[in-house]
């Protein structure tokens, strides 16, 4: 199953990308998280940052998909509720022969909901690693 959380990209250059994820009460996973008080799960906020990172790097990759191979210092702040839009910002920190290190954040009306660092690696390189 493939799903896209990013609704639109609003700004982009070689080093950063800003995108928006608008949360709708029609999204199935919200029904169970939490019944009667729906909030966007933290893992979906992280996935939105990862998808924004893939979008930032899309012109640098061929057909080899990028996979998440490391997550560091993720912190969650405010909740994101249906009817709100999460503004996701990702910035390229560094690139090496195996992949890209990025930092990202997601906010609602200037209130941080998620922030952290993560690494994206081409699938073929990730499968060659012995420590994964």
State the catalytic residues.
Answer: 33
Q: Name the H helices within 58-128.
A: 123-128
The total number of residues shown for the chain amounts to 132
Give the CA distances from residue 88 to residues 1, 26, 69, 77, 101, in Å, rounded to whole numbers and listed in that order: 23, 21, 20, 14, 16
117 forms bridges with which residues in the sheet?
72, 103
62 alpha carbon, distance to own chain's centre:
20
């Amino acid at each position: 199953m493939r799903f896209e959380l990013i609704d639109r990209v609003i700004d982009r250059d070689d080093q950063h990308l800003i995108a928006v994820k608008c949360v709708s009460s029609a999204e199935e996973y919200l029904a169970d998280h939490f019944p009667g008080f729906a909030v966007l799960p933290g893992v979906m906020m992280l996935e939105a940052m990862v998808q924004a990172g893939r979008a930032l790097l899309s012109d640098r990759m061929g057909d080899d998909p990028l996979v998440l191979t490391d997550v560091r210092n993720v912190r969650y702040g405010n909740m994101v509720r249906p009817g709100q839009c999460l503004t996701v910002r990702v910035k390229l920190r560094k690139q090496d022969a195996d992949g890209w290190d990025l930092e990202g954040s997601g906010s609602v009306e200037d209130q941080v909901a998620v922030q952290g660092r993560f690494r994206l690696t081409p699938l073929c390189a990730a499968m060659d690693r012995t420590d994964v």
